[in-house]
Amino acid sequence: MSMEERVAADRAAIADKWVDAILGSYPEETRRIWKSGGGFNNPVGETIVGCVDEFIDHLIAWDDADAMAASLDRLIRIRSVQEFSPSQALSFLFMLKKVLREAYFKEMEKAGTLGELLRFEAKIDNMVMMAFDIYSKTREQIFAMRVDEVKRAHRNIIRRANCVSDVTAGKAEE
């Protein structure tokens, strides 16, 4: 049985453990809220669960880099605006390696098929590289938005200051 077939067969358990690991990177209260239910009341929790399902599908099929990038982008956008360092923001991908090793390492070691696990982990490594590019681009966009906001605020201050000086100059002429 290939690693892709193993992961497909254990898909629900792998996804649940991976979601738990990702949520473990948040404070207890946040984790509790995001773990409870999905939908409109819990969009971040729903995004995490949905993205994990998509990531597993992408890793099994390994045939659509654009779809994988879109899935990564959704979760990275969330993690890039939170109080995470870059390594913490992208650590969710490495958490999958831990989940897979806990599930399969001993069995595959006994069977002499650890090469299959390592080959599958190379896919995760490729996702990490893609995720780093997406994270960097997202952070650049965030910083550009912040600079634009400062420029807008500065223009508004100058415009108001000019209006005030126009009004006071008009009163001085009277």
Q: Could you read off the pLDDT of 90-135 as tens digits, one per residue?
A: 999 999 999 999 999 999 999 999 999 999 999 999 999 999 999 9
Using pLDDT thresholds of 50, 70 and 90, give the confidence band for residue 4. Answer: very high
Regarding predicted confidence, which is higher, 20 or 154? 20
Residue 154 domain-assigned (yes or no) = no
Q: Which domain holds residue 72?
A: 3-138
For the chain, how many structural domains are there in total? 1
Taking residue 83's Cβ as centre, other Cβ atoms within 10 Å add up to 6
Q: Does any domain span residue 125?
A: yes
In a domain, 143, yes or no: no
Is the pLDDT at 171 greater than 60, yes or no?
Answer: no
Tokens representing 61 are 């099929």
Cβ contacts of 136 within 8 Å, gap of 6 or more: none
Nearest alpha-carbon partner for 77 in 53, 30, 43 = 43
Residue 71 belongs to a domain: yes
Note whether residue 87 is domain-resident. yes
- Judged on CB neighbours under 10 Å (0-12, 13-18, 19+), 32 is exposed
Residue 173 has pLDDT above 60, yes or no: no
Q: Is residue 170 part of a domain?
A: no
Between CA 161 and CA 163 the distance in angstroms is: 5
Is position 34 within any domain? yes
pTM of the shown model:
0.81
**CA R_g for the chain:** 24
Per-residue pLDDT, 39: 64
Reference 134, options 51, 61, 24, 53; nearest CA is 51
Q: Does 146 map to a domain?
A: no
